């Protein structure tokens, strides 16, 4: 029953599949670059939800597979003939061969994870990506005050906000390079202009980007440096 509840939640709070798919289009150039750099290895989407990203990749002739634990989401994606497995994303990664994927993506997933699971996900992604492959996370932006204090908690399965500087630093610490943060989806009110600079600053804090994406690359021409897992 809870799986169906969460599917209904996505329908209400994430927007239509068409709207979400349009927003995700901003990442296509980077994914195409990763695919070319890795001799067209497949893409893995963790927590693929309703399959908007999988469909977009399919439309760009990019081989991809999605994984999700939610039975209702998986059934919905299968009804659309999308390539999907019902399983835990981290466990699926652990079963994959090293250097076998061009890109690993996870949209609105990391805010659901305990910190140690997040680090384990990053480490497994570095292992499984081919040199020159890409890791992409998108998550709510806690630099937006309304997100950090209100809308983030609309989803009862969220654990904690993930500041972009922290996520970026963790990716670099675990061996990724050329990290980039994309600030996304500002509220329309962000375009208001006030004569007093302090009001413009406050306006940005309240109505600025509601989400961000962070992109990081596995070093090319090598396997990346191995790092120890976090101790218990």
Band of pLDDT at residue 225, cut at 50, 70 and 90: very low
pLDDT of residue 10 exceeding 70, the answer is: no
- In this prediction, residues 120-133 reach a mean pLDDT of 98
Domain span at residue 199 reads 2-217
Query: Does the residue 82 lie in any domain?
Result: yes
Residues 6+ apart with CB under 8 A from 198: none
Band of pLDDT at residue 187, cut at 50, 70 and 90: confident
User: Within 13 Å of residue 138, how many CA atoms lie on the same side as its CB?
Assistant: 22
pTM score: 0.89
- Write the CATH number for 81: 3.40.50.150
Mean of all residue pLDDT scores within the chain: 90
- The 10s digit of each residue's pLDDT in 14-73 is 778 888 999 999 999 999 999 999 999 999 999 999 999 999 999 999 999 999 999 999
Please tell me the distance from the alpha carbon of residue 70 to that of residue 215, in angstroms, as a whole number: 25
The phi, psi pair for 44, rounded to 5°, reads -115, 125
Query: Does the residue 165 lie in any domain?
Result: yes
Please tell me the distance from the alpha carbon of residue 207 to that of residue 125, in angstroms, as a whole number: 33
How many secondary structure helices (H) and strands (E) does the chain include? 10, 7
What DSSP line would sit under 53-84, residue for residue? HHHHHHHTT--EEEEES-HHHHHHHHHTT--E
75 near 15, Cβ under 8 Å? Answer: no
Query: Does the residue 230 lie in any domain?
Result: no
Band of pLDDT at residue 226, cut at 50, 70 and 90: very low
Please tell me the distance from the alpha carbon of residue 160 to that of residue 123, in angstroms, as a whole number: 20
Query: Does the residue 41 lie in any domain?
Result: yes
How many domains is the chain built from? 1
Query: Does the residue 232 lie in any domain?
Result: no
Query: Does the residue 223 lie in any domain?
Result: no
Query: Does the residue 229 lie in any domain?
Result: no
Q: Lowest mean pLDDT: which of 45-49, 121-125, 145-149, 185-189?
A: 185-189
Query: Does the residue 148 lie in any domain?
Result: yes
Question: Residue 38 class from Cβ within 10 Å (0-12 exposed, 13-18 middle, 19+ buried)?
Answer: buried
pLDDT score for 12: 67
- The 10s digit of each residue's pLDDT in 129-153 is 999 999 999 999 999 999 999 999 9
Question: Three-class SS of residue 202?
Answer: helix
Name the token pair of 79: 């009804």
Q: Order across the sheet with 177-186: list the strands.
A: 84-86, 64-68, 43-46, 101-107, 129-140, 209-217, 177-186
């Amino acid at each position: 029953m809870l799986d169906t509840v969460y599917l209904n939640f996505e329908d209400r709070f994430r927007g239509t599949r068409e709207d979400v798919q349009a927003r995700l289009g901003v990442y296509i150039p980077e994914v195409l670059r990763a695919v070319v750099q890795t001799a067209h290895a497949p893409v893995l989407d963790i927590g693929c939800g309703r399959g908007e990203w999988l469909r977009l990749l399919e439309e760009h002739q990019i081989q991809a597979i999605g994984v999700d634990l939610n039975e209702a989401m998986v059934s919905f994606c299968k009804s659309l003939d999308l390539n999907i497995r019902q399983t835990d994303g981290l466990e699926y990664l652990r079963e994959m061969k090293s250097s076998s994927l061009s890109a690993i993506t996870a949209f609105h997933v990391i805010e659901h994870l305990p910190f140690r699971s997040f680090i384990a996900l990053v480490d497994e992604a570095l292992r499984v990506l081919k040199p020159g492959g890409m890791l992409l996370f998108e998550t709510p932006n806690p630099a937006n005050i309304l997100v950090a204090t209100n809308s983030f908690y609309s989803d009862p399965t969220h654990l904690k906000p993930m500041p972009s500087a922290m996520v970026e630093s963790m990716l670099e610490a675990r061996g990724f390079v050329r990290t980039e943060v994309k600030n996304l989806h500002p509220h329309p009110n962000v375009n208001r202009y006030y004569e007093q600079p302090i009001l413009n600053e406050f306006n940005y804090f309240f109505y600025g980007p509601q989400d961000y994406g962070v992109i990081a690359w596995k070093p090319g021409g090598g396997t990346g440096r191995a790092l120890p897992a976090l101790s218990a």
